Amino acid sequence: MHGHTTIKSGPFIRKCLSLLLLLLSVLVVASDSTAQRFEPRIVFESNRNGNWDIYAMDAKGNNIVQLTDDPADDRDPAGSPDGRKIAFKSMRRGPSDLYVMDSDGSNVVRLTNSNFLEHGPFWSPDGTKIAFTSFRVDNWEIYTIDTNGNNLVRLTRHQMSEGSPSWSPDGRKIAFDSNPDGIFGSHHIFVMEADGTGVRNLTRNKGISNCRNPSWSPDGSWIAFNAWRDSGDIYVMTANGKRLTRLTAEKGNNISPSYSPDGARIAFVSDRGGGWDIYVMDSDGRRTFRLTRTPRGTESRRPGWLSESLQVYPLEGVPTFWGAVKHDH
């Protein structure tokens, strides 16, 4: 008969338990001192230094960094889905063209090279294309272009002006604003298929006017936008144009909403404090926080989110909340 090997279970189990307790104690200490947290940043445009440039800040309005420093105006920043790139428009080579740079402001590459005005870039969810507005045919129309500058495609062919394209999270639709009643008519929010077909007006006969700047929620179920009723405010509606809800009710004008990557917050621009600054609110409009305090006579506008910004920083063993710093009084 072959001999059997006997394992003394008591000491073996005790050693395993000791190692497990040691590992748990290390994890507890690490969680109290340092943590990795998903912390998106916000990109925006500002002329706070006398010239329109692109800036970035954290979601609390701190750590503002200037990303561009060209004598020409750099505006309309839009972060890529992975947060590594920023598209923007610039007049550094004449008429406004589209450019792409790394999220730290380096490696600026010219995307379009035309003699026409172009603005409002917005990345497709897969990061392969950019939708934008251009005046190439004596009218503001929406186009798409590959992120390497190839394959320009015109999506709209209407007798009205289109703007502010915003791709749905699944990449199948694009929301935009347009004035269907002509140059003196009111703007409305439209949705079309990503190939430019199936155009639908979502805000007609809603009792609001001058509807602009649509922004999809990350789950694709809501669209935020700014509109005018008795004041300029931020509204949301379902993706099919139902359940219209006003989120802001403060004095002043509120424009340019942008959903956060997790859908919990909406960044926007308001002049409620006397000048145009960037604010953020809960996606239901209940709490609002002011993020920028731009010097008098200057502005901060066009907020957008950089969705992948994983940072490591001390927590000091105390829970921290994104909105606990700057309240809008």
pLDDT in tens, 200-216: 999 999 999 999 999 99
Residue 138 has a pLDDT of 80
Residue 189 has a pLDDT of 97
> What is the pLDDT averaged over residues 44-54?
97
**CATH code: domain of residue 205:** 2.120.10.30
Q: Would residue 13 count as lying in a domain?
A: no
Q: Would residue 269 count as lying in a domain?
A: yes
* DSSP annotation string for 204-272: TTSS-EEEEEEEE-TTSSEEEEEEESSSEEEEEEETTS-S-EE---SSS-EEEEEE-TTSSEEEEEE-T
Q: Would residue 196 count as lying in a domain?
A: yes
Residue 310 has a pLDDT of 37
Q: What pLDDT band is residue 230 in, cutting at 50, 70 and 90? A: confident
Q: Would residue 29 count as lying in a domain?
A: no
**Which domain covers residue 182, as residue numbers?**
39-314
Q: Would residue 4 count as lying in a domain?
A: no
Q: Would residue 34 count as lying in a domain?
A: no
Degrees to nearest 5, angle at CA 120 with 114 and 121? 80
d(CA 167, CA 130): 9
Q: Would residue 110 count as lying in a domain?
A: yes
Residue 115 has a pLDDT of 84
Q: Would residue 27 count as lying in a domain?
A: no
111 near 95, Cβ under 8 Å? no
Percentage of the chain modeled with pLDDT above 90: 71
Residue 133 has a pLDDT of 96
d(CA 91, CA 98): 9
Domain count, the chain: 1
